[in-house]
Copies of this chain bind each other. A is one copy, B any other.
Amino acid sequence: MGRKKTTIAVVAPGGSIKSATSAKLNALVSRLYPEGSVDLRFAPQCFLSCGHFAGSDSERSLAFLETANDPEIDAVWFGRGGYGACRLDENLFAGLNDAARRKVYLGYSDAGILLARLYREGIGKPVHGPMVADIDRKGGEESAARALRFLVGRREETLEPSVQTGVNAVAFNITILSHLIGTAWMPDLSGHVLMLEEVAEYMYRIDRSLFQITSSRELRNVAGIRLGRCSEVPENDPEFGQSEEDITKFWCARNGIPYLGRADIGHDTANKIVPFGLPPRL
């Protein structure tokens, strides 16, 4: 029996992708899947530039809509974060079709805003994990290969180790989740294990976002919080005096949310995969 081909399309809801990045990923795909079982397509929109963004709000919205609705495509892989997903046209969600509902959507960081909205709308399978631009990190082929192994084969070793059959989970960047609160992009996360990670934010800002996340009426009924890595934290003046785990425990205790320990996610090449909701059969 011939192996099914997996078609993966890359769109960029926030910042644009460099052509060198796409070339690197194409080369990796050719090396890992020499038999041609992976068809990787970059939406032309990925390479557009409009101020801060990979094209205008309309161009990014349309590229996402068309890609999500394309029945030939199995998975939408977000190219990179940056900033811009919350500017997509909110009306597009009503235009997503049955093909969009069968797809996997993979990304994190700013793209988490889009994962959140898709999860709220019950469209497809949003998944928190490496993006295309992670290949530009030192050792970044490891994250790209992990993302591909998940997209192609749902391989168990790609998953964050605490992900379990029967337990709903989600993962978010701390700053991004904080900015979703109160908006129509926030899904119902009752009973979910909430994994959080951060990059390049001062400790006082991580603390302030955790205040909001744990105090929020929308998030107080999560099953618990797992803390991923907080990397590249700029030096605080004066020394903040508490670690990211100290403050996560503090805010969880203050607001009656179970602290469940660490999660193997972060803005790095080791970033493991967290499917929103229940994991694929393990």
| Residues of chain A having any CB pair with chain B under 8 Å | 49-53, 82-83, 86-87, 178-185, 203-205, 207-209, 211-212, 215-219, 236, 238-242
Contacts and interface: CB of A to CB of B under 8 A. Distances in A.
A49 B208 contact: no
A178 B238 CA distance: 25
Given A182-B216, A184-B217, 11 more contacts: A51-B241, A52-B204, A52-B240, A83-B207, A83-B208, A87-B207, A178-B178, A178-B179, A181-B182, A182-B212, A183-B211
Question: Taking the full assembly, how many copies of this chain does it contain?
Answer: 2
A81 B217 CA distance: 26
Contacts of A184: 215, 217
A179 B204 contact: no
Query: Which residue of A182, A204, A205, A236 has the most chain B CB atoms within 10 A of its CB atom?
Result: A182
Q: Which of A51, A203, A239 is the most central at the interface, judged by chain B CB atoms within 10 Å of its CB?
A: A51
A242 B52 CA distance: 9
Contacts of A179: 178, 208-209, 211-212
A50 to B, nearest CB: 7
Nearest to A49: B238
A50 B239 CA distance: 9
Contacts of A238: 49, 51-52
